[in-house]
Chain A
Amino acid sequence: GESVGLHLPTLSVQEGDNSIINCAYSNSASDYFIWYKQESGKGPQFIIDIRSNMDKRQGQRVTVLLNKTVKHLSLQIAATQPGDSAVYFCAETNQAGTALIFGKGTTLSVSS
């Protein structure tokens, strides 16, 4: 069935370090992936997306890498800041392309 998962439920880093959050997906037919950030007490917010015809996409301080061979997605955050502390979700489109399937989330904690 369709499912999206993450390797680690929690990640702790020091301020200024680079963070890498990983996600594995099972549907090899998925053609669109998206990362969301959820801060405490708020709804998820869009960070960055990537289509399956790309391997890498960069945003402001964030980079998403897609490895279709091993069905792996990662989010890299450069120079992590305390404000980056949140739960990060990866998501992929379902087979019909009508909805998003979310992974279970990784909690990123940034210490000063």
Chain B
Amino acid sequence: DADVTQTPRNRITKTGKRIMLECSQTKGHDRMYWYRQDPGLGLRLIYYSFDVKDINKGEISDGYSVSRQAQAKFSLSLESAIPNQTALYFCATSDFFSPQSGRTYEQYFGPGTRLTVT
């Protein structure tokens, strides 16, 4: 079974609709992230969470909200979807980052959700 799962994998919705993307992980990591990927723009960070009570905005949080329901679950919501939110969305998890102690900052990514807003 995959360590990081995302549901749905594909979604088409209409402008103005509320939509939630869900992410679950079995790696036991405290840290979880939501990214958006657009062609030619790479991955941009939307929100990240270091534990259930810690939520932080990323580079492009406007128009999005998140909920960390449990250590293993992190959901992304679009309260009122608009066409320029059409993109590929990735969830990721990581362990505690400590380069001084030799720990990497490897993030483990889910398979992605392709969202189309018409």
Taking beta carbons and an 8 Å cutoff, which residues of A are in contact with B?
Answer: 9, 31-32, 34, 41-46, 49, 51, 89, 93, 97-105
Contacts and interface: CB of A to CB of B under 8 A. Distances in A.
Interface string B83-115: 000000010100001010000111111111000
Contacts of B45: 99-101
Interface residues of B, number: 27
B104 A104 contact: no
Name the prevailing secondary structure of the B interface residues.
strand
Contacts, number: 58
Contact of B42 (A42, A45, A51, A105): A105
B104 A89 contact: no
B111 A98 contact: no
From B33, B43, B59, B90, name the one whose CB has the most chain A CB atoms within 10 angstroms. B43
B42 A89 contact: yes
A46 B104 contact: yes
B105 A103 contact: no
B40 A104 contact: yes
B105 A49 contact: yes
B104 A102 contact: no
12 contacts: A32-B99, A32-B105, A34-B106, A43-B90, A43-B92, A46-B107, A93-B105, A98-B48, A99-B56, A100-B45, A102-B35, A105-B42
